[in-house]
Amino acid sequence: MSSNALHVPVMLHRCLDLLAPALAEPGAVVVDCTLGLGGHSEALLRTFPAARLIALDRDTAALKLSAERLAPYGDRATLVHAVYDELPDVLDRLGVPRVQGVLFDLGVSSMQLDEADRGFAYAQDAPLDMRMDQSTGISAAEVLNTYPPGELVRVLRTYGEEKFARKIVEVVVRERDQEPFRNSARLVELIRNALPQAAKRTGGNPAKRTFQALRIEVNGELKSVERAIPGAVSRLAVGGRIAVLAYHSLEDRLVKRVFAAGAANTAPPGLPVVPERYQPRLSLLTRGAELPTEAEVAENRRAAPARLRGAQRIREEAP
């Protein structure tokens, strides 16, 4: 299966525009923290011929496909099996103290959604796995079958923003006592039956929020994002730029918080002159979160929920 056939990179041209001023110089290093099927990475290598790419992914299948796609670029591309919050460690191992560009494309890759046996998509029956790295961690089925009811309610409310979390969990617990959950179709049907009629008339598939919550829990996504964005900012050279694509409000809120903190003056009120250590470290490159165009959403429906934020490093950390 060709990775090119599978993957339409989201908001590609806008991401390239945001990063471009930092990547024109020879020797610039750009990190794609979410390699996936390599669409953004290939465009970065093609658009910035003087730049070197370091790309991370936790999914070994994605790394294999992307290695084939990026092979023509030879040693300009370094692919690493790692979760994106491990970026500082990866850079230390590679002997790269600072980078000029960082890109995050958070969420689920096209390959993971399109391969039925991964269990990410609620539209087709599949084993309830949802692990981005299938060599480690617990599956979505294990979460459903083993978590105490109160913990399941927390997961659905916190990560899925599911108003009917308690009602869904009551049915899950009753059903799992009869037979453990293994496949997605049974869970989708159970959720459909558990929700009030009014709730099923709006907002797309009623299982969407539960599947999002399980995926985030299984992969520790929000915890990783919480560590990853500050970690990436800390390794940006002055003048370096970061662009982050998020796909739901929980991720986007975390990104917004880190960027806003970095762009803030932290001096106590009333100082006549603001010392260097209180000056902002970041300059925001986007006004709020930018959205995909209608034309892009028409071409690639998976772009619809995307929210893009960018920032530039304008000074070093104060000692």
Look at residues 172, 297, 186 and name the one whose alpha carbon lies nearest to residue 247: 297
Is 177 marked as a binding-site residue?
no
| Tokens 């453990």 found at | 180
Cβ proximity of 30 and 48 under 8 Å = yes
Q: How far apart are CA 301 and CA 104, in angstroms?
A: 19
The answer to whether the annotation marks 278 as part of a ligand binding site is: no
Determine whether the annotation assigns residue 312 to a binding site: no
**Binding site annotation covers 84?**
yes
Instruction: Tell me if 59 is assigned to a ligand binding site.
Output: no
Q: Return the closest-CA partner of residue 105 out of 234, 220, 16.
A: 16
Long-range contacts of 108-111 (CB under 8 A, 24+ apart): 108/132, 108/215, 109/7, 109/34, 109/36, 109/37, 109/59, 109/62, 110/6, 110/7, 110/8, 110/36, 110/37, 110/302, 111/3, 111/6, 111/7, 111/36, 111/37, 111/59, 111/61, 111/62, 111/65
- Is position 105 annotated in a ligand binding site? yes
* Interaxial angle between packed helices 60-70 and 39-47, expressed in degrees from 0 to 180 and rounded to the nearest 10: 30
> How far is it, in rounded angstroms, from Cα 222 to Cα 317?
25
CA distances from 114 to 109, 117, 184, 191 (A): 9, 9, 14, 22
40 is in an annotated binding site: yes
Annotated binding site for S-adenosyl-L-methionine: 38-40, 57, 84, 105, 112
Binding residues, by number, are 38-40, 57, 84, 105, 112
